């Protein structure tokens, strides 16, 4: 059962050149947002509603879900092609006299998304997420100010641009790693072409994995941890192992997560972080199950 659960939430590495499909929804107690590319999950965001938020209208809650979800995934999404799917028709019409809703809409428009209405029954992924928030809100929710946020963003290098897993860069780093080179010569590793770049891979029981050179192992693990929104040890390791391998991967992951200051502040026990409850048989989640 636990294995099954872990499998369902494995996330794939995002491709900045493909459109991001976003599903948002809200329930009485929570809001949720799921990001997909080619029907494969990239990132999940979900949050418990607190205080006055519980009294919001459905449209307000769902708008909040989109604002918070976009903000949480800002480094992945800003400047990319985004399609938001919502089952509340109101959101796709950009008119409201409520100043708060107007502010939220300004915040959303910064991402220039395409808004699409879908029937409620098709929005099972986000609906599912919002009814089972995975993480309690830690900081006090402040009223979102898009102008202030933009000022911060201008001086900041998006995490996405610092991604250490670019193929060309990996190739250069592999070439200067003596241990990798000697194992390649001994026949323990082999070569494979990735988008025009010949990289050194290891054939594992799970399939072919790119061998990560020692010089970028720490950065790679750190990048994934921040990029995925601070997952726990198990999920972080499983996600990285979908594409990569290197000796001591588990130890590097464990050290990073146990020493991450942001993770220490999370109130909920780590074993719950990022894990979704079991899917009921009567509620198919086609995108995830089709993997
Ligand atoms: Zn962390």
At 192, which CATH number?
1.10.340.70
* pLDDT tens digits along 222-251: 877 776 667 788 878 887 887 889 999 999
Average pLDDT over residues 32-44: 77
* pLDDT tens digits along 122-176: 555 555 555 444 443 333 233 333 333 322 233 333 333 345 566 777 888 899 9
251 assigned to some structural domain: yes
> Residue 142 is encoded by which pair of tokens?
């402040």
Ligand 1 centroid to residue 143 C-alpha, Å: 25
Same domain as 155, residue 42: yes
Report the C-alpha gap between 191 and 277 in whole angstroms: 40
Same domain as 181, residue 128: no
- Percentage of the chain with pLDDT > 70? 65
287 assigned to some structural domain: no
- Looking at residue 200, its pLDDT comes to 95
Report the C-alpha gap between 250 and 44 in whole angstroms: 23
CB 133 within 8 A of CB 72: no
Ligand 1 centroid to residue 99 C-alpha, Å: 35
Per the model's pLDDT, the better-predicted residue between 177 and 110 turns out to be 177
Per the model's pLDDT, the better-predicted residue between 94 and 77 turns out to be 77
CATH classification of the domain holding 39: 3.30.420.10
Same domain as 221, residue 152: no
Alpha helices in the chain (DSSP H): 2-8, 58-72, 74-77, 99-109, 124-131, 146-154, 167-175, 178-185, 214-227, 233-241, 249-259, 261-265, 286-289
276 assigned to some structural domain: no
Same domain as 213, residue 151: no
Per the model's pLDDT, the better-predicted residue between 44 and 188 turns out to be 188
Same domain as 95, residue 141: yes
Same domain as 230, residue 86: no
- N-term to C-term CA, the chain: 18
Same domain as 196, residue 76: no
Ligand 1 centroid to residue 266 C-alpha, Å: 9
Among residues 136, 159, 182, the one where a domain terminates is: 159
Average pLDDT over residues 248-273: 74
278 assigned to some structural domain: no
Q: Give how many domains the chain has, as a whole number.
A: 2
Same domain as 177, residue 137: no
Same domain as 207, residue 133: no
* Residues at Cβ < 5 Å from ligand 1 ion: 230, 260, 262-263
Ligand 1 centroid to residue 70 C-alpha, Å: 19
Per-residue pLDDT for 219 more than 70? yes
> Residue 185 is encoded by which pair of tokens?
């010569």
Out of 199-203, 209-213, 269-273, which region has the weakest mean confidence (pLDDT)? 269-273
Q: pLDDT band for position 211 (50/70/90)? A: very high
Same domain as 242, residue 227: yes
Same domain as 172, residue 45: no
Range of the domain at 257: 165-265
CB 245 within 8 A of CB 212: yes
Same domain as 111, residue 21: yes
């Amino acid at each position: 059962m636990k294995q099954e659960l872990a499998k369902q939430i494995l996330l794939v590495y995002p491709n900045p050149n493909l459109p991001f499909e976003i599903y948002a929804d809200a329930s009485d107690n929570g809001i949720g947002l799921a990001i997909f590319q080619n029907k494969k999950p990239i990132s999940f965001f979900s949050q418990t509603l607190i205080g006055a938020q519980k009294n919001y209208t459905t449209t307000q809650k769902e708008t909040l879900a989109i604002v918070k979800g976009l903000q949480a995934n800002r480094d992945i999404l800003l400047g990319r092609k985004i399609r938001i799917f919502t089952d509340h028709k109101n959101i796709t019409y950009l008119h409201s006299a409520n100043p708060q809703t107007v502010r939220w809409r300004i915040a959303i428009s910064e991402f220039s998304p395409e808004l699409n209405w879908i029937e409620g029954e098709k929005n099972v992924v986000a609906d599912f997420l919002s009814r089972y928030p995975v993480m309690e809100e830690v900081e006090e929710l402040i009223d979102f100010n898009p102008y202030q946020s933009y000022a911060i963003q201008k001086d900041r290098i998006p995490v996405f641009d610092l991604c250490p897993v670019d193929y060309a860069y990996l190739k250069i780093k592999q070439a200067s790693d003596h241990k990798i080179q000697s194992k390649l010569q001994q026949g323990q590793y082999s070569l494979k072409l990735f988008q025009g770049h010949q990289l050194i891979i290891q054939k594992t029981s799970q399939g072919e994995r790119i061998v990560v050179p020692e010089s970028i192992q720490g950065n790679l693990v750190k990048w994934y941890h921040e990029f995925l929104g601070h997952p726990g040890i198990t999920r972080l390791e499983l996600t990285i192992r979908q594409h990569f391998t290197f000796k001591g991967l588990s130890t590097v992951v464990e050290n990073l997560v146990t020493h991450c200051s942001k993770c220490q502040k999370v109130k909920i026990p780590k074993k719950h972080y990022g894990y979704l409850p079991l899917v009921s048989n009567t509620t198919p989640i086609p995108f995830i199950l089709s993997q």
